[in-house]
Structures are given as C-alpha cells and as structure tokens.
A = this chain, B = another copy of it.
Amino acid sequence: MSSKRLDVHNSTIPQVCVACEARHRGVCGTLNPSQLVKLSKTTSKHIFAADEELIPAGGEIRHYSNILSGVVKLTRLMADGRQQIVGLQFAPDFLGRPFRSSSDISAEAATEVQVCSFPRATLEELVRESPELEHMLHQQALKELDEAREWILTLGRKTAAEKVASFLYLIASHIDPERSIDVGPIQFELPLKRADIADFLGLTIETVSRQITKLRKSGIIELEGTRIVTVPSMTVLQRASAADII
C-alpha cells in the first residue's frame, strides 16, 4: 500500500471531497475527516452518458454511490417489456439499496450523470462505526418513501393532464429547492425525454405529448424546443397538478 499525503494529517478533508456537495447535503455530511479519508481512499468517480445503466437489475450489489450531478431513473421492467420508472434521484442523493445483495430495480442515467462510487464493504464498515451515517441513510430512505407514496397517489388517482403537470412541478421544484413558490417565472431543462416521462407517469408517449401541448396552449408552460420549459407561475402549475394540499 502506498502512503498518501493525506494520511499525514488525517484531520484534513481529502482533496476529492473538498468541493463535493455530498459532504454538505449528502450522506458524507455525517463523516468526520478521518472517516472521509478512509472512504475517499476507496472511492472512484465515474461519468455515465444518458441512458447508460449504472446498476443492473437483479445483479449483485458491489458498490454504492453518491450522485454528484445529473438525474438517475430507477426502473422496473416486466417480462413482456412494460416498463415503469419507480423513482428519480438527483444530486447529492445516495444511490443503492443498503443491506441487500441485490435488487429488482435498475438504475439508469436519465441525463449525463457523475457519481462517486465506493465498495459495499466500505459503506457497511462505516455504518457499523457511525450511527450518524445510518441515521442519514435512514432519513434518505424515509424521504424516498414519502416521495414514492406521493407518486402512488399521482399514479392511482390523477388524470393524464394532472400527471404531466405534477411531473413538471416536481422537476421545477428540484431546480431550486430553496426558492419560495411564485417569485416570478422559472425556466429549466427537462432531464427526461418524452418516453421517460411516459414511463414515469404510467402513460404512453403520445398521451404525454398531447398533454404537454395542452399545457402549452393554455399558457401554463412555454416551450423552447422540446426540452426547455418556462413556467410563468408555479402556483398555476401547482393548481393544474391537483395538489391536494390546499
């Protein structure tokens, strides 16, 4: 094993972690400098192009990751080819199913995605010595559970128009989570293509397209090309999404 400069003062934050968002808002936020050093020794950064597979379904889980940038879709595939996106993850989310050797869900890049990966064993070791890390992972699991249940309501009870509006509202909300609702228009690039949106909403591409056209014609959104969306009023979009919180 080669000694590294960082070993000398292991209260120093590793170079690779210095500018990393996961250290602030992600799971690494609970680690002390020496734990960060331990983790950073086994990490490696990867970049995936859109539609590349980060984690295959059914395969053995060998490593976990933090999303540094981009959007990841979690998908379930049926035997006959039907597909459903069961979750979307954004930076600096933790990626991977803890405490299980495999999962039926695959993770695919929706946009170009940058991740910081580390072996399964490293995470499990850190969890054992740091209850705060498990707490952070627990918190993220609960957040994802809240989001999944929100989405169950959307899939089960909303119309196609409401579903598409809900999706746009979801994406817009992720652009700037700090932003309070309706301080002027908001513009963003859709991280998903129509086919992905359809797989997320349990609709067909055609229905998604028609509903987006409707939203455009009614002035609730504006489009530049097919991906750049402007929402003049988030309140109006929220109303179109049939948000149940009044």
Which A residues lie at the B interface, using CB under 8 A?
A: 74, 76-80, 82-84, 86-87, 97-100, 103-105, 131, 134-135, 137-139, 141-142, 144-146, 148-153, 155-157, 199, 201-202, 242, 244-246
Q: A134-B131, A134-B135, A142-B98 are in contact. Are A244 and B77 (CB under 8 A)?
A: yes
In whole Å, how far is A59's beta carbon from the nearest beta carbon of chain B? 14
Known contacts being A145-B148, A149-B74, is A156 close to B79, with CB within 8 Å? no
Whether B153 and A78, one on each chain, are in contact in the complex, defined by CB atoms closer than 8 angstroms, is yes
Assess whether B149 is in contact with A242, with CB atoms less than 8 Å apart. Answer: no
CB distance from A4 to the nearest CB of B (A): 30
User: Shortest CB–CB separation between residue A204 and chain B, in angstroms?
Assistant: 11
Residues from chain B with Cβ under 8 Å of A86 in the complex: 149, 152-153
Alpha-carbon distance A157/B204, docked complex (angstroms): 10
Contacts of A146 in B (CB 8 A): 97, 103
Interface centre among A78, A138, A141, A152 (most CB of B within 10 A): A152
Given A104-B245, A148-B149; A142-B78 close (CB under 8 Å): no
Residues of B within 8 A of A100 (CB): 142
Q: Report how many copies the assembly holds.
A: 2
Which 8 pairs, one residue from A and one from B, show the smallest C-beta to C-beta distance? A156-B202, A148-B148, A86-B149, A78-B244, A131-B131, A155-B155, A138-B138, A84-B156
**What residues of B have a CB within 8 angstroms of the CB of A131 in the complex?**
131, 134
User: In the assembly, what is the distance between CA of A172 and CA of B82, in Å?
Assistant: 25
Residue pair B142, A97 in contact (C-beta under 8 Å) = yes
Residues of B within 8 A of A83 (CB): 157
Identify the closest chain B residue to A78 (Cβ): B244
Q: Which residues of B contact A201 (CB under 8 A)?
A: 156
Asked if residues B74 and A157 are in contact (CB atoms below 8 Å), the reply is: no
* Given A77-B244, A244-B78: A152 and B152 interface contact (C-beta under 8 Å): yes
Give the complex CA separation of A153 and B104 in angstroms: 12
Residue of B whose beta carbon sits closest to that of A80: B242
Known: A144-B145, A153-B84. A76 touches B138 (CB 8 A): no
Q: A145 touches which one: B145, B155, B245 (CB < 8 A)? A: B145
Q: List 7 A-B contacts (CB under 8 A).
A: A76-B152, A78-B153, A78-B244, A84-B152, A99-B142, A131-B134, A141-B145
Q: A76-B149, A103-B146 are in contact. List 8 more A-B contacts (CB 8 A).
A: A74-B149, A86-B152, A134-B138, A138-B141, A141-B142, A145-B145, A148-B148, A156-B199
